[in-house]
Chain A
Amino acid sequence: MFLKDYISDIYHATKSLLTGMKRTGYYFVHPKEIITEQYPDNRETLKMADRFRGEVIMPHDANNEHACTGCTACELACPNATIKIITKFDVTPEGKKKKALDTFVYHLELCTMCNLCVEACPTDAIKMGQNFEHSVYDRSMLLKKLNKPGSKIREGVE
């Protein structure tokens, strides 16, 4: 029936438009919903989202120990050669040679924050940091060594 369709068209159109207006009207009278971060002003209290990916970091505990075994899984997972692992051989107390991490080289300027290295890591040695203020005056300053000087692998991490 033509007339019935015509009127139901008008009814549904009006109803859906009013639903939209209700939503925007709700936002208009509820300024608390505003999600804008006034960045440089609120730098002290800025809270980033948990899943924000700013850079790759390697957490060190209080004894300056990390969990990296130097397996190079992250280096292999990286799609644009951002990570370069340099390994060395430690001598264990039993006199056996053991592969260990010497330097974790991280090229921030090449990184796309794709998170593949973090997913590839078998020992959760690296994760994504929240810092995003990476501006520097010289490109070479973006080349970072993630393991701190004198750090060693944590006991029990294989």
Chain B
Amino acid sequence: MFSLQGITNGIQSFLHSRFSATGVLIIESLIVILLATTLFALLGLVLVWMERKVAAQMQIRLGPNRVGPMGIFQTSADTLKLILKEGLTPDGADKFLFNLAPFVVMIVAMLLLAPIAFAKGFQVWDINIGVLYVTAVSSLSVIGILMAGWASNNKYSLLGAMRSGAQIVSYELSAGLSILTIVVLTGSLQLGDIIEAQKNGWWLFKGHIPVIIAFVIFIIAATAETNRAPFDMAEAESELTAGFHTEYSGMKFALFFLAEYINIFIVCAIGATLFLGGWMPLHIGNWQGFNHLMDYIPSSIWFFAKTFALIFLIMWFRWTFPRLRIDQLLNLEWKYLLPISLFNLLFVTVIAILGWHF
């Protein structure tokens, strides 16, 4: 049966037979870097195409359909165009910070890739504080956005960046609290343990009401944290031209654009890991026959199917809901999501202590 774990173990033993321990580490790091970069490039192309297709279908349009079958090469052509364009730096901008900002945003997205388990035994770094690491690092991306907005020397950019700061700081709270419900139920911060705990059913089903509430809050907060419509206050096309990346062009703009989609993938991957069992196939309690049947589908396919289902959900939000104003956005977080998730955390703690989950 196809398994990524077998491939990685094969490479590991092959390298160990040829090189010293240090050499193996260096080569493996290089392989990981190569894989991460390839994944980013592929995700950028696929997700942008998917977004445009989904948007078109929901608005009764066709979407890209000229470049290749179903327009699948449209995004490659767009990327080529962006590479060829001039990366302009405005005269009044802080040159160093201006050029650094897109890379900061990208590197934060790359760092978040580390604890995600893409398949059974296919994980860069299974640290014992995986969930804490994810919540901590994901809040760093706001630094890149603030840097871009400040260094652009443009009022639109600055306003967009400040809004983005307010938004991410607020929504981090409810995202963190909804993640905590799973930590309470599992009793571990390690993503590997969390996936292992969902062997007899995903938390979304095992944890019933409180976990479903937490899942809804997490999805809302994830949409807000990735600065996507209906929470796109940082970009706000209709008010701030393009918000924090107004002054960016060419490949530097493309990096911001790519980082947006990578961040969507990562938050959806984390959502899938915590609530939908990551690579764990759909298992129902003690139905041995059913569970065995589900095990025949490779774990990598389970992971990507769940992640893309969540990505589709977030795209569905974007093309359905009206945009919020900045005050409505903060009202939603501080008056609704935060109190609800605090009560929900209390509720889930009671349930975990009394063992009222499955």
Contacts and interface: CB of A to CB of B under 8 A. Distances in A.
Given A10-B336, A28-B54, A34 B60 contact: yes
B230 to A, nearest CB: 9
B316 interface: yes
Contact of B60 (A10, A17, A25, A27): A27
Contacts of B321: 17, 20
Contact of B320 (A24, A31, A38): A24
B320 A21 contact: yes
Contact of A27 (B58, B62, B65, B317): B58
Contact of A36 (B58, B62, B316): B62
B320 A28 contact: no
Interface string A1-41: 00000000010000001001101110110010111101000
B61 interface: yes
Contacts of A24: 58, 316, 319-320
B38 interface: no
Interface in A36-64: 36, 38
A54 B213 CA distance: 55
Q: Kindly name the residue among A21, A24, A27 whose own CB sees the greatest number of chain B CB atoms within 10 A.
A: A24
Contacts of B336: 10
A33 B58 CA distance: 10
B57 A28 contact: yes
A22 to B, nearest CB: 9
A106 B247 CA distance: 48
B300 to A, nearest CB: 26
Contacts of A28: 54, 57-58, 316
A31 B317 CA distance: 19
Given A10-B336, A28-B54, A36 B61 contact: yes
A35 B61 CA distance: 6
Interface in B44-82: 54, 57-62, 65
A25 B62 contact: no
Given A10-B336, A17-B321, A20-B321, A25 B61 contact: no
B320 A20 contact: yes
B251 to A, nearest CB: 31
A49 to B, nearest CB: 16
A31 B59 CA distance: 10
Interface string B321-352: 10000000000000010000000000000000
Contacts of A25: 58, 316
Given A24-B319, A25-B316, A33 B62 contact: no
A34 B316 CA distance: 17
Contacts of B316: 21, 24-25, 28
Contacts of A27: 57-60
A36 B61 CA distance: 6
Chain A to chain B: the 7 pairs with minimum beta-carbon distance, closest first:
A24-B58, A24-B320, A36-B62, A20-B320, A28-B57, A21-B320, A33-B60
Given A21-B317, A27-B57, A34-B62, 12 more contacts: A20-B320, A21-B316, A21-B320, A23-B320, A24-B58, A27-B59, A28-B57, A34-B57, A35-B60, A35-B61, A38-B62, A38-B65
15 contacts: A17-B321, A21-B316, A24-B316, A24-B319, A25-B58, A27-B57, A27-B59, A28-B58, A31-B57, A33-B60, A34-B57, A34-B62, A35-B60, A36-B60, A36-B61
